[in-house]
Structure 1
Amino acid sequence: MLILGFVSGTLCLSSNAQMKYLNVMDYGAHGDGTTDDSHAILNAWNGVCGGGGPATLLIPSTKTFLVKRLKLNGPCKAPNVAIKFEGKIVAPSMKKWGGNPFNWIEIFSVNGLTIEADGGIIDGNGDTWWQTCRTCRRPASLRFHACNGLTVKSLRMSNSPGAHISVNSCNGAFFSQMNIAAPRDSPNTDGFDISNSKNIAIEDSTIATGDDCIAINGGCSFINATRIFCGPGHGISVGSLGKNNSYETVEEVHVRNCSFNGTTNGARIKTWPGGSGYARKITFEEIILQDVKNSIIIDQYYGNKNQSEGESAVKVSEVSYRGFNGTSASDKAINVNCSPSGCSDISMDQIYIVSSQPSRKAYAFCQNAKGTIENTVPKVSCV
């Protein structure tokens, strides 16, 4: 019988559990970086998932595995299964992609999965997409759908065509010591893109991309981001919410002890005009900023510069900013741009943001917001 629990983010197996390792090389993988190893990995996964006891899929070190579109399906017979990355997995180029461009590697309906890397890396080969396919659909590198009780540790990911990690319809996921990297000008390469999920924690990770380090989208609750180093990128964002007049909700988001370096945004909430729903019970605290634009931003006119007075908006409330320190690359360091329906219960305390250029002065813009302001530089006047 497999007994699994989380103790300070560590996977614990009972001493009587006999872990079986299934090496993809034993299933016909070549590991030469040019031969398609997708079927070998899928066959090894079927052995792991279809077995009755605890089993680990092993991606061995010193090998590079070319993998085309891959879907690892559950549910598994074993109550808990694992994947261990020691080698490198690389995606085909855009010209050799084949199939739909929504996801590269998808893990579907696998509960209790543990992924741990020891030197392993997933390379999305995104540079073959970014220049010729900037406006078309580009795949996420790794998508978890309906995976509950998930643990991912020490995984390195680079150069995804689209988002690096997509978390959708999951309950209970713990990511730690992640390292995600893509060029600052790579389009839509979010580090994490989370939607319709709850009880998700991301800790002690470094994310440098061309888009949001973490994007928390509609249907999310109880999302925690702690000790994240973000930059370059677009910051940590709630939203966007309410696109195409949709109803969306986000609540209980907590971002703590994070650093932003050279990002185009810091702590961001973004909603589309005409949407409905709510974004509430959100905290950003103990944040370090270095040369960051829009260190604090609520944008209720996302995607629409024509600010119509009559449109509805997602309700933004119970948002707390506390303990921000650092420098702004833009004169407008704080931008609270709420719709006429307003943002409520917005609080700021112990905020100290100055211009990264000594000759310039940072300022705050604020409209249609209510709440409390204490000990804030630059001064915020509308709350």
Structure 2
Amino acid sequence: MQVLITLILVLGFVSPCLCARWNLEETSDNYTFNVVQYGARGDGKSDDTQAFLMAWNSTCGVTQGQATLVIPPNLSFLVNNLIFEGPCKASSIIIQVYIANSLLIDGGGNGSIDGSGSTWWDCASCPRPPVLHFHACNDFSVANLKVGNGPRSHIAIDGCNNAKFSNLLVNASSTSPNTDGFDIASSKYILIEDSIISTGDDCIAINGGSSFIDATRISCGPGHGISVGSLGKNNVHETVEEIHVHNISFIGTTNGARIKTYPGGSGYAKNITFEQINLTNVTYPIIIDQHYAKISPQDSNVLVSDVTYRGFNGTSASGIPIKLDCSSLG
């Protein structure tokens, strides 16, 4: 089966180098391989499969430094199912996927991506990247893959519609900073299922502009639980709605089902359901925090409404199963 892929730039595995030196625009020590140089036409009609594979083999074969596989902008590439096989000799490979439709990434059960995040975690001011970042992608799926040690979030989803993530193992140290398993923003109809997420931050963070997000059959822990928000940071207006989180096991997490909004922000979080939840030593199984980070004496004007909690079973490590810190405005 052939798939038409329209891309601005392709490919992004995170570099294991020090974050202060990481810059996508820095090319002096990088090896760049453009599929067009290997014969890809990009006319939406010609079969560009072999050009992609040859460019990948060159990228994978770099013996030192950073290797980048480039698919140039404003072209449409028609390819058969591609298998980018390793192991690679390159110390790091950049893979960034933008504006891709009908894309399938399948690790086959043994595929893995390691973000070498430990080289970044001590640098709080560094612009740490995610391991995988999907921007403006539609009708795609990611399955049977291990993603670990993200410098920041492991899988970032921004401006996407109709995506499915299944049978994933996402793992990072419990002390790793801001290493969300999934970070979703401005996206619709996203399904995350049958996965294990163990990180130093939220297993799943559902941020502003997101709707119709479904998470099911997830084992979460350690980490901060599954969060709607945070919303309203820097006094912005943000909305989240139609969220369904069900059949989830939280194990040793700080939170279970969490909704968090910043003081001063506006917008709403509505039509949210958490159900069939199993809890093992979770500090706050149910929490709504509308004064998140307590950065301002202001109240949050993000309206939280139509939230359902159903079928919660298990234990709280704090003895406080429900913690509600609601805004007087919202």
Q: What's the CA shift for 1:174?
A: 0.7
Q: What's the CA shift for 1:311?
A: 3.0
Partners of 2:170 and 2:216 in 1: CA distance: 16
Q: Who is 1:39 aligned against?
A: 32
Q: What's the CA shift for 1:313?
A: 1.8
Q: What's the CA shift for 1:331?
A: 2.1
Q: Who is 1:217 aligned against?
A: 207
Partners of 1:196 and 1:79 in 2: CA distance: 28
Counterpart amino acid of residue 208 in structure 2: G
Q: Who is 1:77 aligned against?
A: 76
Q: 190, 195, 220: which is aligned to 1:205? A: 195
**Is residue 76–residue 110 contact of structure 1 (8 Å, CA) maintained in 2?**
no
Counterpart amino acid of residue 113 in structure 2: I
User: Any idea what the Cα deviations from partners look like across 1:134-166, whole Å, max 9, x if unmatched?
Assistant: 343211111111011111111111111111111
Matched, 1:141 2:135: no
Partners of 1:91 and 1:247 in 2: CA distance: 43
Q: What's the CA shift for 1:225?
A: 0.4
Q: What's the CA shift for 1:87?
A: 3.5
Mark the CA change 1:297 to 1:162 in structure 2 (over 3 Å): closer, same or farther. same
Q: 150, 153, 157: which is aligned to 1:163? A: 153
**Is residue 228–residue 259 contact of structure 2 (8 Å, CA) maintained in 1?**
yes
Mark the CA change 1:325 to 1:72 in structure 2 (over 3 Å): closer, same or farther. farther
Partners of 1:299 and 1:91 in 2: CA distance: 44
Q: Who is 2:278 aligned against?
A: 288
Larger radius of gyration between Structure 1 and Structure 2: 1
User: Any idea what the Cα deviations from partners look like across 1:38-76, whole Å, max 9, x if unmatched?
Assistant: 63586799849666348596679xx89875566656666
Q: 338, 341, 345: which is aligned to 2:329? A: 341
User: Any idea what the Cα deviations from partners look like across 1:255-278, whole Å, max 9, x if unmatched?
Assistant: 010111111111110000111000
Q: Who is 2:21 aligned against?
A: none
Q: Who is 1:127 aligned against?
A: 118
Task: Compute the TM-score of the two structures, normalised by the length of structure 2.
Answer: 0.79
Counterpart amino acid of residue 318 in structure 2: S
Q: 184, 187, 195: which is aligned to 1:194? A: 184
Counterpart amino acid of residue 206 in structure 2: I
**Is residue 3–residue 103 contact of structure 2 (8 Å, CA) maintained in 1?**
no
Q: 316, 322, 326: which is aligned to 2:314? A: 326
Q: Who is 1:259 aligned against?
A: 249
* RMSD across aligned positions (CA): 3.3
Q: Match of 1:189, SS?
A: coil
Any stretches of 5+ residues in structure 1 without a counterpart?
5-32, 98-103, 343-383
Counterpart amino acid of residue 150 in structure 1: F
Task: Compute the TM-score of the two structures, normalised by the length of structure 1.
Answer: 0.69
Kindly tell me the number of residue pairs found equivalent between the two proteins.
299
User: Any idea what the Cα deviations from partners look like across 1:105-131, whole Å, max 9, x if unmatched?
Assistant: 321111111111121111111111112
Partners of 2:227 and 2:79 in 1: CA distance: 32
Counterpart amino acid of residue 106 in structure 2: E
Q: What's the CA shift for 1:77?
A: 2.8
Mark the CA change 1:295 to 1:111 in structure 2 (over 3 Å): closer, same or farther. same
Q: Match of 2:120, SS?
A: helix
Mark the CA change 1:72 to 1:290 in structure 2 (over 3 Å): closer, same or farther. farther
What is the 5 A alignment of 1:84-103? Answer: 84=83, 86-87=85-86
Q: 275, 288, 303: which is aligned to 1:298? A: 288
Counterpart amino acid of residue 120 in structure 2: W
Mark the CA change 1:121 to 1:320 in structure 2 (over 3 Å): closer, same or farther. same
**Is residue 142–residue 165 contact of structure 2 (8 Å, CA) maintained in 1?**
yes
Q: Match of 2:119, SS?
A: helix
Identity of aligned residues (%): 52
Any stretches of 5+ residues in structure 2 without a counterpart?
5-15, 18-28
Q: Who is 1:13 aligned against?
A: none
Mark the CA change 1:282 to 1:111 in structure 2 (over 3 Å): closer, same or farther. same
Highest RCO, 1 vs 2 (Cα 8 Å, sep ≥ 6): 2
